[in-house]
Amino acid sequence: MSGIGIIGCGVISGIYLENMARFPDLELRAVADLRPEAAEKAAAAHGVEALSVDALLAREDIDIVLNLTIPAAHAEVGRRVLEAGRHLYLEKPLAASVAEAREMLDLAEARGLRVGCAPDTFLGGGHQAARAALDEGAVGRPLGGSATMMVAGHERWHPNPDFYYSDPGGGPLMDMGPYYVTALVQLLGPVAEVAALSSRPRDARQIATGDRAGESVPVEVDTHILGILRFESGALVQLGMSFDVAGHWHAPLEIYGTEGSMKLPDPNRFDGQVELTGDRVLQAADRPHGDGNWRGLGLAEMAAAIREGRPHRADGALALHVLEVIEGVHGAAATRMTVGIDSRPPRPEPMREDLT
């Protein structure tokens, strides 16, 4: 049994807290937040203690800390977790910059600790079905693909959307890109170089819901980004990430190969279906962890890997590579130059039902 502590009790914490009961080898033991009322509300709902961050990190019965703070705080909070001698699992992205992320991973290695990072949706039934089909040669040799996430902006539904538009850590690519890039890397392997263009159509956004409805939020980052990823395998993937599009007709992910094509489900989900040319359809529900929202699966798999002394799948090296790709796309758009990607993580092993 792995004892879990959570730092950060914002919107995303709800599904993690709810899903703890789905993983019998995880036990939630305490929560913390800079806003005591948020921690107390989460603690009361789930029968655990609400503590300060320092008090949580001092608990000897906590093995892994789940960091659900905003992206700009990931590295600072992550460093504190590691310095306290606890394994670390973070909500995406790994940090607000590659430099911060590398420092965090270096500290973990020096302390003999694990770092894991969302997204873990690539471990779900939909994307594991796609991985199996691809490995079996269902589309032949992958030549290219597309990745598309275009919405009108998170201020429409989030009561405190400031961090989605702040620098560092904001923008559609930093927010949603990890789902898409991680899914692509587990299918195609690492990215070698990127090119991109981007724009910022609006300088402010108006909050639509909650106590701050009508309040204006400044936009400090580009919110419409178009890129090209060249994978080490030679595959070329078009990338479109936007907070400025009212509607579109693109699939979230597509892979094109020498013998056929594949349409994948939303990489922010564990369920869905995979469609292949030739009218073949693979259902996520036919595979483990393909029937609903299994957020926290990567944390549970990491805990199992620690107990068994083996590598875990949603690991720091994969998350660092994804962050380097994202930072590279932003850099390519700013400089109008192709940017090379240095890191080369291995493709994660296919998922098994028993988390091994």
Amino acid at 196: A
The pLDDT tens digits for 139-184 are: 999 999 999 999 999 999 999 999 999 998 899 999 999 999 999 9
Cβ–Cβ under 8 Å, residues 194 and 203: no
- 337-356 pLDDT, tens digit per residue, is 999 999 999 999 998 877 76
Name the E strands within 21-114. Answer: 26-32, 49-51, 64-67, 87-90
pLDDT at residue 61 tops 70 = yes
pLDDT digits (tens, 9 = 90+) for 97-146: 999 999 999 999 999 999 999 999 999 999 999 999 999 999 999 999 99
Mean pLDDT (whole number) for 218-223 = 97
Task: Please give the class, per CATH, of domain 2-117.
Answer: alpha beta
Q: How far apart are CA 267 and CA 125, in angstroms?
A: 11
Q: For residue 38, count CB atoms less than 10 angstroms from its CB and return exposed for 0-12, middle for 13-18, buried for 19 or more.
A: middle
Mean pLDDT computed over 320-331: 98
Q: Which phi and psi (to 5°) does residue 202 adopt?
A: -130, 145
- Mean pLDDT within 79-96: 97
**Residue 248 scores a pLDDT above 70:** yes
What pLDDT does residue 353 have?
Answer: 74
Strands (E) across 137-279 are located at 142-150, 191-199, 204-206, 216-218, 224-231, 236-242, 253-257, 261-264, 273-276
| pLDDT, tens only, 31-53 | 999 999 999 999 999 999 999 99
Query: Other CB atoms closer than 10 Å to residue 168's CB: what's the count?
Result: 16
How does residue 23 score in pLDDT terms, banded at 50, 70 and 90?
very high
The pLDDT-based confidence of 278 (bands split at 50, 70, 90) is: very high
Q: Is the pLDDT of residue 233 over 80?
A: yes
pLDDT of residue 188: 98
Phi, psi of 313 (to 5 degrees): -85, -50
Predicted pLDDT at 90: 98
Sign of CA dihedral 49, 52, 57, 59: negative
What does the alpha-carbon distance between residue 349 and residue 268 come to, in Å, rounded to a whole number? 20
Helix (H, G, I), strand (E, B) or coil at 263: strand
**Per-domain residue ranges for the chain?**
2-117, 124-288+314-340
Q: How much of the chain exceeds pLDDT 70, in percent?
A: 100
DSSP characters over 275-311? EETTTEEEEGGGSTT-SS--TTHHHHHHHHHHHHTS-
pLDDT band at 282 (very low <50, low <70, confident <90, very high): very high
DSSP state of 352: -
Q: Tokens for 61? A: 């019965």
Contact at 8 Å (CB) between 108 and 302? no
Average pLDDT, whole number, for the chain? 96
| pLDDT of 100 | 97
The structural architecture, per CATH, of the domain 124-288+314-340 is 2-Layer Sandwich (3.30)
Q: What is the pLDDT of residues 186-211, one digit of tens each?
A: 999 999 999 999 999 999 999 999 99
d(CA 338, CA 279): 37
